[in-house]
Amino acid sequence: MQRIFTMAATAAIAVIALGAVGAVGARAESHSCTSAPADQYLSAGDLQAKVEAQGYTVKRVKIAKACGEVYALDKAGAKVELYVDPTNGSIVRSETD
């Protein structure tokens, strides 16, 4: 009986550990903002203009992993990292420092 309990506990720990690893991997992969091909992406300058039109002060723009990464200041002056759909400039996700 104790052996069955030990095996069940070990299996539960393995499931929890794999779930944590999966969550970290999902976060790393979640930067994809579009499935559109790269030839449909706006230029970095166009992405900057679209983000600035939403009230941000843009410091840097790069396009990586099917996502525009925009480093900017919000209206209050706080640093933000925006993940932008490179085909239309819409903000998919933002992170504040």
Phi, psi of 15 (to 5 degrees): -65, -45
The string of pLDDT tens digits covering residues 4-26 is: 655 555 555 544 555 544 444 44
> Looking at per-residue confidence, does 12 or 89 come out higher?
89
Mean predicted confidence (pLDDT) in 24-38: 68
DSSP string spanning 12-57? HHHHHHHHHHHHHHHHHHTT----S-GGGPPPHHHHHHHHHTTT-E
